[in-house]
Amino acid sequence: MKPLRIGKIFGVELYLDLSWFILFALIVNLFLGVFKDMAGISLRVQILFAVSSTFILMCSLLAHEMAHCLVGRRYGFIMKKMTFMIFGGMAHIEEDNFYKIGSRAELKMALAGPFMSLVCCGFFWVLGVLSSAYLLSFFARNALVSMFFLLSYFNLLMACFNFIPAFPMDGGRVLRSLLWHKKGLLPATKITCDIGLFMGRVGLPLIGFFIFRSLFSVIWLGLIGWFILVPACLQEVKYVAEMIEKEENNKKNKN
The nearer residue to Zn ion, 159 or 185, going by C-beta atoms, is 159
CB of 169 to Zn ion, least distance (A): 7
**Nearest-angstrom CA–CA distance, 88 and 61:** 8
The nearer residue to Zn ion, 57 or 143, going by C-beta atoms, is 57
The nearer residue to Zn ion, 82 or 140, going by C-beta atoms, is 82
> Buried b vs exposed e over 46-68: b needs ≥16 C-beta within 10 Å?
beebbeebbebbbebbbbbbbbb
The nearer residue to Zn ion, 38 or 90, going by C-beta atoms, is 90
Q: Answer yes or no: are the C-beta atoms of 59 and 151 closer than 8 Å.
A: no
CB of 137 to Zn ion, least distance (A): 40
CB of 162 to Zn ion, least distance (A): 5
Q: Where are the beta strands (DSSP E) in 48-185?
A: 78-85, 88-94
In Å, the largest CA–CA distance within the chain is: 79
**Nearest-angstrom CA–CA distance, 5 and 41:** 35
The nearer residue to Zn ion, 54 or 162, going by C-beta atoms, is 162
Question: What residues line the site for Zn ion (CB under 5 A)?
Answer: 113, 162, 170
**Nearest-angstrom CA–CA distance, 81 and 250:** 31
CB of 60 to Zn ion, least distance (A): 12
CB of 14 to Zn ion, least distance (A): 16
